[in-house]
Structure 1
């Protein structure tokens, strides 16, 4: 649908094409855009979408990002919304306009000029980025897995090390290459297991001089008393036990005070020499939205919203997902920054905005915790089921948990691609597994 043909219609602009933002655009496109009830516009700085929980697999090489990416322009055409490529850097609430920074080509020439996008209703779905808490050297000397580009950069460094180890035929046990992961949450834990599995597979591809157990050391550092601090203790203990069984070194109760080119320094005095440092501890909303245009934000830049997901100082601006501080209740002050939260908010907000155009009151969002799943590659998957699935918390592991983790990704694909396309994609993935190597080697 071309925006020029939508003159006079209500303009809903969504900034951020992550899990929540893209799902919202697809739902509104089908409910409003297709019927010419409103003009739906999605804005994102990237041309393609990749489900963020998969980035650790891209980094390890067990997932080719290009095979799972979806083109925003193609999705917009198929789902009756417009797509604008650009990075938001400004907002004028009086004029109801957002501003997109100029985009540049590889040679530095201007690709897209500064753009203005108008709105009647604005939805901020910008997601989150890694928070290094101002730790000296963290931004310069560590990789933050916020984007497919960063994940690919990590993968290239890992592959290059393995090739170098193969060529040098080094004396094993000396000069081990260390990957230090700062942060014992789901990203850090899943990355460590995926890396161990990747290097074992690599050594079977003719790299006879590369021994994953002797040449590569994987370390997790976390300031909390245990891994996966936000999840049930039994799940945390099981994960820690599994990681130690595959020789992943775990340091808890250790605060990182500096990251240098040589390694990671802890407040306790410990120092871990490191070849690659991945920072996966903590999140924050993008810096530019802190107090943007006078909107209320919290200490990690999240926009403060009511349970309707409207911002506290402007009823025409909504925020959802990781970039929003949405109140929930006494036991859970705000909705946690998880993929399931964004998925639930997208569904509620889609219904809410459709109703709003029909003169109905906005819906209030209620978060339902369905539990957590943590994948340790081929080694194990563990989790806890909560909410309506059980009266309390049900611990699961093994094949049942693995299938449920797989279904989370499929559920997102169904939300944005539809059932038939997801069915076709799944068969294509199975065929690709037979045709391609188990890990990406380039």
Structure 2
């Protein structure tokens, strides 16, 4: 059994995880006070709030991403490619699943990694709320790979319209979820359609793009002040987006979405960006105390409630504030949590105990 023994293992190189290993690398790794290891199933990092720009082709993930191995060499931590699969609290060991290439050949076998302290920062995935047909018919924007698949479908749609002699034909795109991702994607799609003429698709224009932004709640951008949400809605309407608030989707088919009122919203391309949850395999581990969205419950130090050697941060973390509300799954929250965990790990490294509420 291949076992390596870093002191601090961080699973997940998203906004919070990457910031944490960078700071720990400079404060502990550089001084050889601890070995810092980052594990991620991808080789590069793209800031998740920018995935809608990868989806539309506005940015190139190969040029705008952070290569973990190169970043690790510069910031005094180590990187290992792998996918978190299991955990053994007694031996303080995590299991990484075997890694295969596109042809099914083994790149890396199953591996076991020892930790003294573990940080889980695996982020979140879209929550389809078990809505029938969503998994089979919709695109998600949880990863670079998913964003690129959407981009390929979008380019195919634009190309098809460009070569169609019927200039009245349009590309219908329906997006469920009026949060930041849905709103920004809607606007970015119109921006991209304006630029297509520069790339030879002279028959394309924003007029041939029909976008439905569907929100179940009373308004888009519910996490932001109403003044900002109203302003954003006005701008979307000016672009031509059909903003559908108070519209709950009950099913997705290959032809579009069906609402709770049995209205069909036809679409050539469907995107699901409504709500998030921690990955389902966390529940299957049977280790942690979880919320209904699979988020791991933590104490005031961001330690899991079942093991004080395991810290949690970011979208997969369920931290309840003094007002009773849970910290929202945002990049800003992940950055604040990363700073908290960094201070607590450095404190624990020196004193072996935590004495103050750092959350």
TM-score range with shorter-chain normalisation?
A: over 0.9
Q: CA deviation at 1:210?
A: 2.2
Q: Is the 8 A contact 2:158 2:171 kept in 1?
A: no
Residue 113 (structure 1) aligned with residue 109 (structure 2): yes
SS in 1 for 2:270: strand
Q: Is the 8 A contact 2:219 2:245 kept in 1?
A: yes
Residue 356 (structure 1) aligned with residue 352 (structure 2): no
How far apart, CA to CA, are the structure 2 residues paired with 1:362 and 1:115? Answer: 35
Q: CA deviation at 1:176?
A: 2.3
| CA RMSD after TM alignment | 1.5
Of 225, 230, 249, which residue of structure 2 is paired with 1:232? 225
SS in 1 for 2:80: strand
Q: 2:127 corresponds to which residue?
A: 131
Q: Is the 8 A contact 2:311 2:341 kept in 1?
A: no
**Alpha-carbon deviations, 1:31-74, whole Å to 9, x = none?**
11111111111110001111111101111111111111111111
Q: Is the 8 A contact 1:124 1:320 kept in 2?
A: yes
Q: 1:315 corresponds to which residue?
A: 308
Q: 1:192 corresponds to which residue?
A: 186
How many residues are aligned here?
A: 356
Structure 2 length normalisation: TM-score?
A: 0.96
Residue 335 (structure 1) aligned with residue 327 (structure 2): yes
Q: Is the 8 A contact 1:304 1:312 kept in 2?
A: yes
SS in 2 for 1:265: strand
Of 7, 32, 36, which residue of structure 2 is paired with 1:36? 32
Matches within 5 A, 1:40-439: 40-172=36-168, 175-213=169-207, 215-290=208-283, 292-330=285-323, 333-359=325-351, 360-361=353-354, 363-366=356-359
How far apart, CA to CA, are the structure 1 residues paired with 2:214 and 2:347? Answer: 47
Q: CA deviation at 1:364?
A: 2.8
Q: Is the 8 A contact 1:345 1:365 kept in 2?
A: no
Which of structure 1's runs of 4+ aligned residues deviate more than 6 A? none
Q: Is the 8 A contact 1:56 1:145 kept in 2?
A: yes
Q: CA deviation at 1:291?
A: 6.2
Q: CA deviation at 1:89?
A: 1.1
Q: Is the 8 A contact 2:10 2:21 kept in 1?
A: yes
For CA contacts below 8 A with separation 6 or more, give which structure has more relative contact order. 2
Q: CA deviation at 1:208?
A: 2.7
How far apart, CA to CA, are the structure 1 residues paired with 2:133 and 2:62? Answer: 31
Q: Is the 8 A contact 1:178 1:276 kept in 2?
A: yes
How far apart, CA to CA, are the structure 1 residues paired with 2:27 and 2:199? Answer: 50
Q: Give 5+ residue unaligned stretches, structure 1.
A: 367-442
Q: Give 5+ residue unaligned stretches, structure 2.
A: none
